Amino acid sequence: MTNTLHRYGPRQEGDYIVFAIPARGINDAGCAGKLQAFLRLASRFNPVNMGNGKQGSLFRPERSLNPFTWFTKRRRHTVPPDRVIEEIQGPCTAAATFDSGDAVCAVLRAAREADLGMSVNVSGPIEGTYRAAREAGITPHSIEYSLEFRGRTDLLPEAPILELITMCGHSMVSRHLARKVASLVKEGRLTSEEGATYLAKPCVCGAFNPSKARLILEEMRHRW
């Protein structure tokens, strides 16, 4: 699973995913509490999204929506962070997404002090990630580089849409939905913040960065 690695575009700074994961068959016994503790400590530093990779992220669809909600504009597009945390009942990837390198540094420092024993990874711009590790007093163990895309790149969508959809590495944020949302934002039917919320819902891992999506949609509103 390399779902956070290959994020296209120039806006790499301000786009970090910090996640904890157990190693199968080695330290996964009784890991649920440790993964919950990790997300709990990450939630103190204002993540823009969180997820457990199984039940979903902070942004979720509603299974039984009252049709009158549409008239009152009181839809609940998010669930409380506690719900995402408590849903962790076994091995999974507990992820929190941040739009600031300083927050990542604070999370790493807290994770080091908590010594939970889970593998902690940061997916982000190389320089910013190493800076955060250094300031947290951590020497990184391993590193995976993204060498980006090859092959039939002519099949990929236009740059800003690609930037939006690669924030979900499992490709659950479809290019068609991204184009529709971008159009609605441009027409003034949605705000860029609402648009980012709709785009965040299909990503079950919580790796989608709605803060970055809002910036992209706002830019597209003027230039697309």
Partner 1 sequence: MWINPRLCVGCANCVPFCPVGAIAVEPGGVAVIDRDACVECANCYRSMSRENLPPWLVRALRKAAQLLRLRPDPDLDICPTGAITPEPLEWPRVVRSLFSDPTSEHKVTGVAGRGTEEAKTNDVTGRTKEGQAGFTVELGRPGVGVTFGDIERMTVALARLGISFEPKNPVTSLMEDPRVGRIRRDILQERILSAIVEFTVPLEQVPEVLRTVEEVSTQLDTVVSIGVYTKNAPDGSNPLLGILHQLGYRPRRAKVNMGLGRPLAEVR
Kindly state whether residue 54 participates in binding partner 1, applying the rule CB under 8 A.
yes
Residues in the chain: 224
Question: Per-residue x/- marks for partner 1, 67-106, CB under 8 A?
Answer: x--x----x---------------xxx-------------
* Contact between 88 and 198 (Cβ < 8 Å): no
Q: Which is nearer to partner 1, 102 or 148 (CB)?
A: 148
From 43, 97, 123, 209, residue interacting with partner 1 (rule: CB under 8 A): 123
Min. distance of Cβ 214 from partner 1 in angstroms?
A: 17
Question: How many Cβ atoms from other residues are within 10 Å of residue 78's Cβ?
Answer: 17
**Angle value at C-alpha 72, between 67 and 77, nearest 5 degrees:** 75
Distance between alpha carbon 26 and the CA centroid of its chain, in Å? 27
Nearest CA to 84 among 28, 43, 27, 34? 43
From 47, 169, 206, 210, residue interacting with partner 1 (rule: CB under 8 A): 169
- For the chain, the farthest-separated pair of C-alpha atoms sits apart, in whole angstroms, at 54
Q: Which is nearer to partner 1, 46 or 70 (CB)?
A: 70
Q: Which is nearer to partner 1, 66 or 89 (CB)?
A: 66
Q: Could you say which DSSP state residue 57 is in?
A: B
From 125, 135, 191, 193, residue interacting with partner 1 (rule: CB under 8 A): 125
Count of positions on this chain that bind partner 1 (CB under 8 A): 89
